[in-house]
Structure 1
Amino acid sequence: MKIAPRDAAAFVRKPPETLPGILIYGDDAGRVALRRQDLLQALVGPEAEQEMRLTRLNGSDLRSDSAALDGAMRAQGFFPGPRAVHVEGATDGLADLFRAALEDWRAGDATIVATAGSLTARSALRKLFEGDRRAACMALYDQPPSEAETLDLCARAGLRPPEGEARGALMALSRDLSPGDFRQTIEKLGLYLHGEDRAVTVEDIAAIAPRSMEAALDDAIAVVADGRQDELADVLRRLDSQGVTPVSLLISTTRHFRQLHAAASDPGGPVNGLSRARPPVFGPRRDAMAAQAGRWGRAGLEKALATLIDTDLAIRAAARTAPDRALVERALIRLTLMARGRG
């Protein structure tokens, strides 16, 4: 039985009571591990109880000990309740072994949970689990969590379903983070709002979202766009110590000012323009950028972009008169003065 991606979350949350086995496979080992963890929790209980009713086997060991899988599947433990056998690193070479186990499976035996890497459509292991009416096969693709999966994670973390901008911000974050990091962020958000009887806000998400190099660049660009000249030297020194190259800083600054120009040019105003950006800008950052776009105006932003483009051309020129860092810092200083009306 093949589990469609849209049904995967519901299946894992409440698997059939009589499930002989399931194959979970995919390119990303982290995604496979997270899905397997959720499934085992649904099958045999919380992680603290799993060791009592869970047997772990490695696919490579089964090649030399083919009876290990059958023995683990039929073994009766000291603790009552459903049991499972996790086979990590399953391969096509074990297809016949899994076929025999699935055919001999009876109610009361342990459920076989096999995990594997990438499998082609011609994979014998994949065909076996997809073709068995009682067993299941689940493919995990390199794509962000769906909205239903995100809401499920929120519910498990004790959060109310986010609405409006908060939901949009959370989905945008799911596209930027790895599955494991996103899950940890949701759990962190649940702890952050523990005991507060209210819905998640954009400010809550911004407060707990992981800080990255991109965030450090955003802070530096905000200093320039706001005209905070007294902070510029410290910010540039900090970026230099973090290994940010002048070209990276120039590219990020140009992207930011292009966004401001598009927002300032929008007939509905800067806030509407930023909401329609891809990816959209939310919360405090949107408010700050809308204020910047309003202060600079369309004409001022065109002058700023001309300065940045001239700097980019100067860096690319064969005969440069100054190092990259000096050229970029000079451009940023000029932009800061322009923001203060002195450029």
Structure 2
Amino acid sequence: MEIPVLNVQDYIHNNQDTDDDEDDAGVIRAKQYLENTYGKDWIERPLLLKELWTQKELRLLTPNGLLTMTNLTIPYFTNATNPTALIPDGYDTVSNIIQGMIYDQKPYKIGSQYIVQHDPTLLFKEIIPNDNNDNNQLFLTKLFGNHFSPEKITGKSIFEFKNGIKLKLPGTTTVPVFIANTITTTSKDKNKATTATTTQKKEEFLTGLHCEPIANLAVQLWGSRTWTLVNPIHTWKLRPRIATDGRSYYPSSISKNDLTRKIPRYRITTNPGDAVWLPTWTYHQVEYTTTRKNENSKMISFSQLSIGASIFHFRPYDYIRRNPLFALLLIPSLLKELIGMKTQ
């Protein structure tokens, strides 16, 4: 299926002196376009946001920038070619992990919120770069709701009742950074009857088809990713099952052949500056699919790297409304995560 598309730069003012009325006008026009083109329920389906940001150089969320993170130690996956791997099995500095990916062609993968937790300012400095103003943040907040602030990540939001009592709210937004690449290995098989032949085997890094009880705005910062997305109305055709570690995560056990033949789906590729909106409970699969042309080129190795960040945020109404059975089954896990007993 063809995914709905919004070119964000057509509706964002880049002038620092822009006032709130003009900001609202841009969002109003964007909503009108989405409703007129895709229907009033456009937010119920995936949406591709083109050119969410146009900043050409990032500081830290680049291969070179990540190589400087020698003091930040995080969990990571040592073999990203295994789509069933759900729990990181390695622990090292960001710098060492990236070195292994780029220079040693290791099949590593990072999927960790600790990078942004360590420096929450990265949300606006690089994940939603805004050229020294906050128009991008305001645009997203007014389009999708107030989920895009450091307070939502750190858990410092305050809700004040009419009687003056203040309640500190837990963090409901997390921003994991996802980094992986593709390894192509070459093996030679000599044919005795003729001449030697060369066979290439491509190992794809893949996040298997799954859904989660949160909404996601997935931003592409470097390289590219290819997404397979399934509208939540088709959830029960995907043979969902509960994650083996009890997390708030539902993988699909449908075969690749049945997915291809029987399930309507979107298939898109996000490039730097793009973002994809995934409503709560949207099944998705992510492939890191690029091709290295020169194994000895540092620059080609850098271009192999895919760096993205997902703005995961909890939307209680959608959580219950869109999938009431899953919502009930996950309440114990969600409570454990909110009080800090489960962090994975």
Higher helix share: 1
Higher strand share: 2
TM-score (norm 1): 0.20
Higher-Rg structure is 1
TM-score (norm 2): 0.20
